[in-house]
Amino acid sequence: MKETRYILAMDQGTTSSRCILFDRQGTPRSVVQREFAQIYPQPGWVEHDPMDIWATQMGVAMEAMQKIDAQAEEIAAIGITNQRETTVVWDAATGKPVCNAIVWQCRRTADRIDQLRRDGLEETVRQKTGLIPDAYFSASKLAWILDNVPGARDRAERGELRFGTVDAWLIWNLTEGRVHATDYTNASRTMLFDIHKLCWDQELLDYFRIPASVLPQVLPSSHLFGATEKFGGSIPIAAAAGDQQSALFGQCGFYPGDVKSTYGTGGFLLLNTGGEAVRSDHGLLTTIAASADGQVRYALEGSVFIAGAAIQWLRDEMKLLESAPQTEELCASVEDAGGVYMVPAFAGLGAPYWEQYARGTVVGLTRGTTRAHFIRAVVEALAYQTQDLLSAMKEDSGLSLGALKVDGGASANGFLMQFQADLSNVRIERPRSVETTALGAAYLAGLATGFWRDLAEVQENWTCGQVFQPAISEERRQKLLRGWKRAVQCAVSWANLDREDGSA
Comparing CB distances to ligand ADP, the nearer of 11 and 201 is 11
Whether 267 contacts 198, CB under 8 Å: no
Comparing CB distances to ligand ADP, the nearer of 200 and 249 is 249
Cα–Cα nearest to 303, from 282, 330, 333:
282
Beta carbon of residue 22, minimum distance to ligand ADP (angstroms, whole number): 19
Sign of the dihedral through C-alpha 199, 97, 53, 138:
negative
Residues that bind ligand ADP (CB under 6 A): 264-265, 308-309, 311-312, 324-325, 327-328, 408-410, 412-413
Beta carbon of residue 305, minimum distance to ligand ADP (angstroms, whole number): 12
Comparing CB distances to ligand ADP, the nearer of 64 and 309 is 309
Beta carbon of residue 409, minimum distance to ligand ADP (angstroms, whole number): 2
Comparing CB distances to ligand ADP, the nearer of 90 and 263 is 263
DSSP string, 254-298: -STT-EEEEESSSEEEEEEEET--PPPSSSPEEEEEP-SSS--EE
Beta carbon of residue 435, minimum distance to ligand ADP (angstroms, whole number): 10
Q: Which residue is nearest to ligand ADP (CB)?
A: 409
Q: In 10 A of CB 257, how many CB atoms?
A: 15
Cβ neighbours of residue 318 closer than 8 Å, sequence gap 6 or more? none
Cα–Cα nearest to 156, from 146, 165, 148:
146
Beta carbon of residue 325, minimum distance to ligand ADP (angstroms, whole number): 4
Beta carbon of residue 306, minimum distance to ligand ADP (angstroms, whole number): 9
Whether 165 contacts 86, CB under 8 Å: yes
Comparing CB distances to ligand ADP, the nearer of 243 and 396 is 243
d(CA 162, CA 180): 8
Angle at 468 between CA 467 and CA 474, to 5 degrees: 150
Whether 177 contacts 229, CB under 8 Å: no
d(CA 147, CA 126): 24
d(CA 229, CA 7): 16
Comparing CB distances to ligand ADP, the nearer of 220 and 408 is 408
Beta carbon of residue 385, minimum distance to ligand ADP (angstroms, whole number): 14
Comparing CB distances to ligand ADP, the nearer of 18 and 108 is 18
Beta carbon of residue 373, minimum distance to ligand ADP (angstroms, whole number): 17
Q: For residue 395, how many C-alpha atoms fall within 13 Å in the half-sphere facing its CB?
A: 12
Beta carbon of residue 308, minimum distance to ligand ADP (angstroms, whole number): 2
Comparing CB distances to ligand ADP, the nearer of 39 and 412 is 412
Beta carbon of residue 369, minimum distance to ligand ADP (angstroms, whole number): 20
The enclosing H or E element of 362 equals: strand 361-363
Q: What are phi and psi of 302, to 5 degrees?
A: -130, 145
Cα–Cα nearest to 52, from 12, 89, 84, 91:
12
Sign of the dihedral through C-alpha 320, 322, 324, 327:
negative
Cα–Cα nearest to 155, from 101, 106, 102, 94:
94
DSSP string, 321-357: -S-TTHHHHHHHTSSS-TT-EEE--BTBB-TTT-BTT
Comparing CB distances to ligand ADP, the nearer of 124 and 312 is 312
Comparing CB distances to ligand ADP, the nearer of 80 and 161 is 80
Comparing CB distances to ligand ADP, the nearer of 432 and 486 is 432
Beta carbon of residue 379, minimum distance to ligand ADP (angstroms, whole number): 7
Q: In 10 A of CB 494, how many CB atoms?
A: 18
